[in-house]
Amino acid sequence: MNFSSDTSAPAHPAVLEALLKANTGAASSYGADKVTQRLRARLAEVFEADEFDFWLVASGTAANALALACFCPPTSSIICHREAHIQMDERGAPEFFTGGGKLHLMDGEGAKIDFDPLKDYLDDFDPRNVHATPPAVLSLTNLTECGRAYTPAEIARLAQRAKYASLAVHLDGARLGNALAHTGATPAEMTWKAGVDVLTLGLTKTGAIGCEIILLFGAAKSKGRELQARAKRAGHMPAKMRFLAAQAEAMLEGGLWLQLAAHANAMAQKVAAAFVEDGHDLAWPVEGNEIFVTLDEQAFNDLQEDGAQFYEWPGGSHRFVCSWATTQKDIDDLAASLGRSMRR
Ligand SMILES: Cc1ncc(COP(=O)(O)O)c(C=O)c1O
Say if ligand 1 is within 6 A of residue 6 CB.
Answer: no
User: What are the b/e assignments for 191-206, b being 16+ CB within 10 Å?
Assistant: bbbbbbbbbbbbbbbb
Query: Any residues with CB less than 8 A from the CB of 33 and at least 6 apart, and which?
Result: 27, 241, 242, 245
C-alpha to C-alpha distance for 337 and 304, rounded to whole angstroms: 9
Q: Which atom of ligand 1 is nearest to the CA of 64?
A: 4
Give the confidence band of 339 by pLDDT, cuts at 50, 70, 90: confident
Mutate to test the pocket of ligand 1, among 57, 140, 144, 172 (most ligand atoms within 8 A of CB): 172
- From CA 274, how far away is CA 276, in angstroms rounded? 6
Q: Which atom of ligand 1 is nearest to the CA of 84?
A: 1
- Residue owning the nearest CA to atom 6 of ligand 1: 60
Above 90 in pLDDT, residue 194? yes
Q: Judge if the beta carbon of residue 60 lies within 6 A of ligand 1.
A: yes
The ligand 1 atom at the shortest distance from the C-alpha of residue 204 is 11
Pairing of strands 135-141, 77-81: parallel
DSSP string, 112-140: PPPHHHHHHHHHH--TT-TTS--EEEEEE
Nearest to 199, CA basis, from 222, 176, 182, 179: 176
Are domains 13-254 and 256-343 of this chain identical in fold? no
CA distances from 257 to 157, 171, 217, 336, 340 (A): 27, 18, 20, 30, 35
Ligand 1 mean position to 160 CA, how many Å?
26
Q: What ligand 1 atom has the least distance to the C-alpha of 5?
A: 14
- In this structure, which residue's CA is closest to atom 4 in ligand 1? 60
Q: What are the tens digits of pLDDT across the range 36-95?
A: 999 999 999 999 999 999 999 999 999 999 999 999 999 999 999 999 999 999 999 999
Q: Which are the contacts of 98, defined by CB distance < 8 A and separation ≥ 6?
A: 65, 68, 69, 72, 73, 74, 76, 78
Q: Is 3.90.1150.10 the CATH classification of the domain at 256-343?
A: yes
- Residue 53's SS3 state is strand
Find the radius of gyration of the CA atoms of the chain.
20
The CATH number assigned to the domain with range 13-254 reads: 3.40.640.10
How far does residue 14's CA lie from ligand 1's centre (Å)? 22
Distances, alpha carbon 247 to alpha carbons 33, 260, 308, in Å: 14, 14, 30
Could you give the CA distance from residue 267 to residue 261 in angstroms, rounded to a whole number? 10
Domain extents in the chain = 13-254, 256-343
172: Cβ below 6 Å to ligand 1?
Answer: yes
pLDDT band at 343 (very low <50, low <70, confident <90, very high): low
* Residue 341 confidence (pLDDT) above 90: no
Average pLDDT over residues 18-39: 96
pTM of the model: 0.97
Task: For residue 2, give the DSSP letter.
Answer: B
The answer to whether 326 and 262 have CB atoms below 8 angstroms apart is no
Residue 248 pLDDT level (bands cut at 50, 70, 90)? very high
| CA–CA separation, 114 and 201 (whole Å) | 23
